[in-house]
Structure 1
Amino acid sequence: MTKPLVIKIGGSILEQESALSSLLLVLKSNSDKKIILVHGGGSTVDQMLMQAGFTTKKKNGLRVTPKAQTPIIIGALAGTVNKKVVATANQLGLTSLGLSLADAAMVTCSKHPENIGEVGVPTPNNYSVIELLLSQSILPVIASIGALDNGNLVNVNADDAAVAITQLVDGDLLLLTDVAGVKDAQGKILKSLAHAQAQTLIEQQIINGGMVAKVNAAFNAARQLRRSIAIASWQQPQQLSLLFVGQPIGTRIIPD
């Protein structure tokens, strides 16, 4: 593959040091490739909000971000989670640099149209810093925190952030999750999945529970990018090496 690969991570892998280290070691062994990490960190945010006496609310799957919670959310994502990933990578010998969407105005944000507080809608803007880092074989690790035109910081859905970065670098997108892919009625991993097929599997409750949200988010990302993307498991990071030589992994999500 010649295009940059944007890998979105979140959830459990950020809480399991051994899993994160395994992924980063695979990236280190492929350091000649152009790779970018984009991360969320919802569980860390939830823990820090709870410690501060706040409750977490979501609307249509998006985190509601009141102004009073914004400093904690920014600190959790652009601080605690981002620097943990960077420190782990550097300790393993994989040179990395932590960034947010706001750095060098790589991605600009507008206020989200829904009434969900300090949340931004990202738009790709400036490739120069990422281009420089990739040219020096430095891994960019990007937190899903952006800025509005007035300079106010906003929380950005991590999937949306990954899409914006993928658009920015004209790359391919891989969503790493806690499952190896989308399964059919026989429990086998589907190599590809079209939207109509996904809706049928959801109606039949073959795709169910938390996987419904993951699949819908993946289709939304593929639709925005107007190209297919992959869902694969962070528990099998060695599979990434197959992706780098053009072999499919996980389930490829085919947009409408």
Structure 2
Amino acid sequence: MQKKIDTVKTLMDAMPFIKEFRDEIVVIKYGGSAQTSDELKAKFAQDIVLLHLVGVKVVIVHGGGSRISQLLNDLKIPTEFIDGERVSTPEVMRIVEMVLSGEINKEITSLLNSYGAKAIGISGKDAHFLRAKPKDEAKFGLTGRVESVNADVIHNLLREGFIPVIAPIGSDPIVGHPGYNINADLAASAVAAAIGACKVIFMTDTPGVLNKDKELFSTLSEAEVEALKADGTISGGMVPKVDSCLEAVDMGVKKAHIIDGRIEHAILLELFTSEGVGTQITL
């Protein structure tokens, strides 16, 4: 009986958060860290379906860098990174789109649908909803940056009860253009701002932002993030993660979160508990 009572108490504790986020849009960047096992994939799908059932409007943006690198290696196609970003030659771009749109996007969509969701997979090329431009064509080739987002595409899907699953391939109006390889974190920030999301959540392979004693910061302001970057507390691979968060809040998203995608039900723990599980970043 006590176990049943505890279950009800957990539901009651979550009720204020469920009320807060009902009818709100939450963008989730689903990274490879949360896709490392079938069990984690299943927990992720369960989280998304539950959010949908309680009225949260979920939009998913996914990456796939490790899978892209693996296939390029298998095909003996050379790939180069500059400042942590992939140089996207036309040959590399074909593989990027094949993996992101043709494989990972369909896998995530099928997974969610198998748990009862109404997920629909799209790329930024569909209806030209993610217009992009080169980051630096001479240096990075077809690696791009989001120029504009057609928010109506996503709003129409949400209105019809779908969960959009977005592959970050940018479009170009030139006929026959191969498109652009867009960093998934930056794509998630741009989409979140354009569609009026209240939150953007980045699922990563780290607990969040840590201090020099390896303790978690639960909340940081933009000014605090910049100070931690300046003194070296935030460094290495965490820099682009917090920069994506800052870009989102600078464009109008109320809160951005970095959470550990390796934790089971990390999304529900972040949204529906007072403690959360990662680092929240605000203006």
The TM-score normalised by the length of structure 2 is 0.80
Inter-partner Cα distance in structure 1 for 2:256 and 2:153 = 24
Secondary structure of 1:38's counterpart equals: strand
- The answer to whether the aligner puts 1:14 opposite 2:35 as a matched pair is yes
1:252 has 2:280 as partner: yes
Q: Which residue does 2:150 correspond to in 1?
A: 126
- Using the alignment, how far apart are the partners of 1:59 and 1:17 within structure 2? 32
Q: Which residue of 2 aligns with 1:103?
A: 126
* Residue 235 (1) aligns with residue 262 (2): yes
- Unmatched 5+ residue regions in structure 1? none
Q: Determine what percentage of the aligned residue pairs are the same residue.
A: 28
SS of the residue 1:252 aligns to: strand
Q: Which has the larger radius of gyration?
A: 2
The aligned residue for residue 57 of structure 2 is 34
Q: What are structure 2's unaligned runs of at least 5 residues?
A: 1-20
Tell me the amino acid that sits aligned with residue 191 of structure 2.
I
* Counterpart contact for 1:26–1:237, Cα < 8 Å: no
Aligned to 2:73, what secondary structure does the other structure show? helix
Task: Give 2:72's aligned residue.
Answer: 49
1:15-57 deviation line (CA, Å, top 9, x unaligned): 4322122111011112121000001100000011111112321
Aligned equivalents of 2:252 and 2:79: distance in 1?
Answer: 30
Question: In structure 1, what is the equivalent of residue 159 of structure 2?
Answer: 135
| Aligned residues between the structures | 255
> CA separation in 2, counterparts of 1:141 and 1:70?
20
Cα 1:228/1:26, change in 2 over 3 Å: closer
Given the superposition, is the C-alpha separation of residues 226 and 86 from structure 1 closer, same or farther in structure 2, using an over 3 Å criterion?
closer
Cα distance in 1, alignment partners of residues 256 and 263 from structure 2: 18
Structure with the largest fraction of helix:
2
Farther-moved stretch of structure 1 (245-254 vs 81-90): 245-254
RMSD: 2.4
Secondary structure in 2 matching 1:240: helix
What is the rounded CA distance, in whole Å, between the counterparts of 1:13 and 1:238 in structure 2?
10
Q: TM (normalized to structure 1)?
A: 0.88
2:261 counterpart letter in structure 1:
W
